[in-house]
Amino acid sequence: MTVQELKEWFEGREIPSGPIWIHKSMKVEDPKQFLQLHFNSIEADPNDRANEPLILRLTLMKEWMEANGRA
């Protein structure tokens, strides 16, 4: 997915308020802030290679939401 597609996917969805584990080694304490910071960072520097980890984490969050009935 592109960054724009991810952004559109998250828009209008109910984002969890508490901590969630989006991966067995990755806990997100504040999912709303997590999304805001990741998208802001990508927009500030649209370098695809530098943003790969951010996009991966956004994708993991999307997959977690889908798997947990938040899609």
Q: How confident is the model at residue 71 (pLDDT cuts 50, 70, 90)?
A: low
**Residue 52 DSSP SS3:** helix
Q: What would the pLDDT profile of 36-58 be if each residue is shown by its tens digit?
A: 999 999 999 988 899 999 999 99
Beta bridge partners of 26: 23
Q: What would the pLDDT profile of 13-38 be if each residue is shown by its tens digit?
A: 999 998 999 999 999 999 999 999 99
Token pair of 27 as six digits: 């806990």
First-to-last C-alpha distance (Å) of the chain: 16
H-run or E-run covering 20: strand 20-23
Q: Give the model's pLDDT for residue 48.
A: 85
Alpha helices in 1-71, H assignment, sequence order:
3-10, 31-44, 48-67
